[in-house]
Copies of this chain bind each other. A is one copy, B any other.
Amino acid sequence: MTSAPRPASPRAARTRGVPEATVARLPVYLRALSALADEGVSTVSSEELATAAGVNSAKLRKDLSYLGSYGTRGVGYDVGYLVYQVSRELGLSQDWPVIIVGLGHLGHALANYGGFVSRGFAIRALVDADPDLVGVEVAGLEVRPIGELEQLVARHGIAIGVIATPATVAQEVCDRLVSAGVSSILNFAPTVLAVPEEVEVRKVDLSIELQILAFHEQRKVGAAHVTRELVEALPGRAAVSS
């Protein structure tokens, strides 16, 4: 969806035959499974897990079946074992070193986001072009000048880069990351990035998400051709006018 993973050779396309849509859901399953494990639940049925993950149970079973036959008919799935298998499939058995480029508000928030560290990722380098930011400590790590980008990538063996810069410099930063050896990029800048075939880019665009919501919101309102106040007055809604 985000990028176009269309390899030149069709043969390389299915390495393990796990569909892209399934890959995108595995992290959700993993989170639900981890929560169950923390609660001490040892076995879970596809129906329960599907509900927790917010998907159809048939879809969940088919997704899991791409990884192998890890369930027991009549019983369900062993939570601990499934956590292990899904983690392994996602490549989370190891810690991936990550670099964040751009430490404005967003980059700052990302560096401090606990969800990264806890799930197989380790932020190893922070760089920014602003001299005022260089030297500042963020999330226990010192911000380095952007000139050290290549060096830091090499030293820590970084394969995953996060771009949280203004859109104007995103492509330039991206190019530098790629030529330094980064092959997966998470882009928060509102720009379409051009990258070589073998580099994977995923885009997170906050304003796009809001615009999609606005579309649906408008559709709701405009469908009945009424003001928002009248919509709110539908039965079952809490009274808005205090």
Q: Which residues of A contact B (CB under 8 A)?
A: 1-2, 4-5, 15-16, 21, 23-24, 26-28, 30-32, 37, 52-55, 78, 80-81, 83-84, 89-94, 96, 98, 104-106, 108-110, 112-113, 115-116, 119-121, 150-151, 153-154, 157, 159-160, 179-181, 183-186, 190, 192, 194, 198, 200, 202, 204-223, 227-238, 240-242
Q: Is the CB of B240 within 8 A of A181?
A: yes
In this complex, what residue of B is CB-closest to A214? B91
Contacts of A185 in B (CB 8 A): 213
* Majority DSSP secondary structure for residues of A touching B: helix
**Nearest opposing residue in chain B for A210, CB measure:** B121
Chain B residues with CB below 8 A from A221, complex form: 159
A2 cross-chain contacts in B, Cβ below 8 A:
209
Q: Please, how many angstroms separate the alpha-carbon atoms of A194 and B83 in the complex?
A: 23
How far is B216's CA from A186's CA once the two chains are assembled, in angstroms?
12
Closest A-B pairs by Cβ, 8 of them: A91-B218, A80-B235, A105-B109, A115-B207, A54-B192, A84-B234, A184-B213, A27-B211
